[in-house]
Structure 1
Amino acid sequence: MNLKSISRVALLATIPLFAISCGESKDTEEEVEVSEAPKFLSKPLVSHIYTADPSVHVFDGTIYIYPSHDVESVVEEDDSGAHFNMRDYHVFSMTDINAEPVDHGRALDVDDVKWAKRQMWAPDAAKKGDKYYLYFPAKDFDDIFRLGVAVSDSPTGPFTAQPEPMKGSYSIDPAVFQDGEEYYIYWGGIWGGQLQKWRTGEYLSTGKSPYADEPEDDEPAISPMVAKLSDDMLEFGEEPKKIAILDQDGTPIKAGDHERRFFEAAWVHKHNDKYYFSYSTGDTHNIAYAIGDSPYGPFTYQGVVLKPVQGWTNHHSIVKIDGKWYIFYHDTELSGETHLRNIKMAELEHLADGTIKTIEPILK
């Protein structure tokens, strides 16, 4: 596939124009748009297919990237994200942080998942013993997002999906965090991710716009979810719990605080015995983070890891490789289209006080 490179930003420039009026010429000034390519912090890691939402892990010394696979879509764009109509997953590997990623081909297709109808969105993976587990969201035949699990003897697949989704699962963006011998799964995404429709514990089919079931602006924001995984890694090993993201004064971040509230793309990493919960703020396009003393939280808001990228979505993972921390993310440099993204990476720095230095993906 030849991927197009059409991304541009519009800058206003004032230039002289010559106009002829009533037989006379005169100098006038008029504002016109001039296109100029943005300067990006990082280069795309993969260019032969469109990739997004990269979840990255190091297994046995090799770096593995588990992204979603963006494709051209004839589905009309709407607030539910229907035009993000991905149907399969590819796995990539890197022998070191400077290596070119190797595409190991299709690891799982929606046609191989009995319960899934469409929209294989952002996945994640885990290793336990000699087995590898791919966690993914997809819409079932009632168009409700569920979480699925697929298993393989290889980190690159192919993966065999379980015949049913995880019991009691819903919404999107599964992320698995290993802490010692325990594995925790985090998930959730509002609007098109449907998390707001589960506020009562049952799916609310209101028939309204995707954001109609959100709380009022002065109420606590919708919480992402967490559960310890079962020993066999195939189900929740406990009743899922809501994650509290708090302001510095200990009060919950409010639903109307779009600069800081959770939207989607949960990820957890551990640094100096602290747990870092990072996530996308959605319509304000930041990757924000909060810190806590437990994988269950509560987590106290600290700031922004990654400023907005080119494109509507912002989704990431954070991983330590050979003693250094990196953030993997995506933007739309190769296509300029919201639903056709490409993955990137940048080095990430924890400061002496435990906070994270904010990264600007587009250079000024």
Structure 2
Amino acid sequence: MANPFLPLWEYIPDGEPRVFGDRVYVYGSHDNAGVDTFCDYKLKVWSAPLDNLNLWQCHGDSFHTKADRDHSSSIDWSENQLYAPDVVEKDGKYYLYAYIVDAKGCVAVSDTPEGPFTLLSQYEYPMPDDLEGFDKGIFVDPGVLVDDDGKVYIYCGFLSSYMAEINPDNMYEILEGSFQKDIIPVEEPFAFFEACSLRKIGDTYYMIYSPKRGSCLAYATSKSPKGPFAYQGIIVDNGDDYPGGNDHGSICFINGEWYIFYHRMTNGTVFSRRACVEKIQIASDGTIPQVKMTSLGFESALNPYKETQADIACVLKEGAYVVQYNEFERTVANIQNGCIIGYRYFDFGEDNSSETMEFVAKIRGTGCRSRMRIVLDDYENGVEIGTCEIGMDNHIYKAVTKNVTGYHALFFLVEDTTEGWGGQMLKGRQLFELESFLFMK
């Protein structure tokens, strides 16, 4: 599946990836399209078989803080939103750690990784309710590690980071004397903000988290689950040439490859977030080089000769953003003069028997005239292969381009073609919306 790797109508941010058995699971918050708030009152579980990462299956709702038409609430002390959960396995049971906004968090349990999860207990801890670190038992953005020696650790925090050890016999009781504050400093270069997620690789502990700059996922490493951690750098930035916002995710080893799971925003807001993934490398010295966002997901390349939905763009500059009208219709909208829309990467193959090919775009018109310059590899210094003139109405617009072979990023550079001084007076207007496109040879 391309990015976003779940069905395009699904909005799962804050994804915690976990491999259990022969499947990879994603546990995250649940957003909705076109809203002005983070998350809602339920958690969902998606998974895919390790031998087919294009076959994502929804296991339905797994936990609730508010009743809906099919489910009762899983708890009785709050009806607030659910944010950023985590799930771990211990002794054949699967434990969900839930963050409930402005209310005490809790642990739920299931016999299967897909749930549904049944309430086990609120967190229990030998500390006063007003202890700063756990915000009266909320445990913001819990990330949990079951270590090789059977010890269990929980990491959490907003603006400051915290950790504690959990009693492995019940999985919800914080052990007395285990609390630590500021395991990730708030000062540069760490600049901790939120979204703790710990992974152990060999004998090294990797803390993935969101720094104050917001749109990034950074990481720090330690030889102990209790730290101290050394800052290492940024893994991915969802605001790199894109309308960015808060990020939350983690790394996962799948079929011999490492991936970073994260999310991207839609609708011109920091809300309505969708799950994305990028392949990463862990170098021999343990560092993780930063990766660019792509449209690939779990694909090795996109097929330019099949219809590409515009909303999988990984580059959106100068005001363009993804919008959903309904479960079937999504576009790149707010396309103005100077906008750049980009996709990484397409494999055009090796056929060079012709000098030209044809580009086809499905457009929603807005009564304006414009053009898209079609550029390969780099939107600033790339190779221009053609130009597609866009008219005023809903239409299929076509252009003849140079023939292309090989593996390339693809960018559309948008220009308003209104002639004369009137074009300057109309600066900032939406020229069209892009639904999809393909190439033909």
Q: Same fold (TM over 0.5)?
A: yes
Q: State the partner residue of 1:213.
A: none
Distance 1:261 1:329 in 2: 19
Q: State the partner residue of 2:164.
A: 226
Aligned with 1:105 (options 60, 67, 76): 60
Does the alignment pair 1:59 with 2:20?
yes
Q: State the partner residue of 1:357.
A: 289
Aligned with 1:183 (options 137, 152, 176): 152
Q: State the partner residue of 1:156.
A: 114
* Gap change, CA 1:85 and 1:48, over 3 Å in 2: closer
Alignment of 1:293-308 (within 5 A): 293-308=223-238
Kept in 1: contact 2:162–2:179 (CA 8 A): no
Alignment of 1:1-364 (within 5 A): 42-71=3-32, 83-96=37-50, 98-110=53-65, 111-139=73-101, 144-162=102-120, 164-167=122-125, 169-180=137-148, 181-190=150-159, 222-238=160-176, 239-245=178-184, 254=187, 257=188, 260-309=190-239, 310-333=243-266, 335-361=267-293, 362=314
**CA offset digits 1:47-93 (Å, max 9, x no partner):** 2321110011111121111111113687xx6xxxxx22410011111
Distance 1:69 1:160 in 2: 18
Kept in 2: contact 1:137–1:148 (CA 8 A): yes
Letter in 1 for 2:53: N
Distance 2:107 2:250 in 1: 19
Kept in 2: contact 1:148–1:161 (CA 8 A): yes
Post-superposition offset of 1:133:
0.8
**CA offset digits 1:131-153 (Å, max 9, x no partner):** 111111103xxxx3432111111
Letter in 2 for 1:268: L
Distance 1:89 1:244 in 2: 28
Post-superposition offset of 1:171:
3.8
Please state whether the residue corresponding to 2:104 is helix, strand or coil. strand
Distance 2:214 2:142 in 1: 21
* Gap change, CA 1:302 and 1:176, over 3 Å in 2: same
Post-superposition offset of 1:100:
2.4
Letter in 2 for 1:107: S
Kept in 2: contact 1:230–1:236 (CA 8 A): no
Q: Which has the larger radius of gyration?
A: 2
Post-superposition offset of 1:243:
4.3
Distance 2:53 2:122 in 1: 39
Distance 2:97 2:190 in 1: 26
Post-superposition offset of 1:124:
0.5
Kept in 2: contact 1:280–1:286 (CA 8 A): yes
Kept in 2: contact 1:136–1:148 (CA 8 A): yes
The unaligned stretches of length 5 or more in structure 2 are 66-72, 128-136, 294-313, 316-377, 379-441
Letter in 1 for 2:26: I
Kept in 2: contact 1:51–1:341 (CA 8 A): yes
Distance 1:174 1:161 in 2: 16
Q: TM-score, normalised by structure 1?
A: 0.69
Distance 1:86 1:282 in 2: 24
* Gap change, CA 1:261 and 1:70, over 3 Å in 2: same
**CA offset digits 1:75-118 (Å, max 9, x no partner):** xx6xxxxx224100111111026232100111111122112230
Distance 1:132 1:272 in 2: 23
* Gap change, CA 1:165 and 1:86, over 3 Å in 2: farther
Query: Across the two proteins, how many residue pairs are aligned to each other?
Result: 272
Identity across matched positions, percent: 34
Please state whether the residue corresponding to 1:184 is helix, strand or coil. strand
* Gap change, CA 1:336 and 1:103, over 3 Å in 2: farther
More deviation in 278-287 or 163-172? 163-172
Higher relative CO (CA 8 A, sep ≥ 6), structure 1 or 2?
1
Letter in 2 for 1:289: Y
Letter in 1 for 2:138: Y
Please state whether the residue corresponding to 1:263 is helix, strand or coil. strand
Distance 2:87 2:57 in 1: 17
Please state whether the residue corresponding to 2:84 is helix, strand or coil. coil
Distance 1:347 1:72 in 2: 27
Distance 1:296 1:45 in 2: 34
Q: State the partner residue of 2:307.
A: none
RMSD (Å), alpha carbons: 2.3
Please state whether the residue corresponding to 1:117 is helix, strand or coil. coil
Distance 1:272 1:130 in 2: 23
Post-superposition offset of 1:163:
5.2
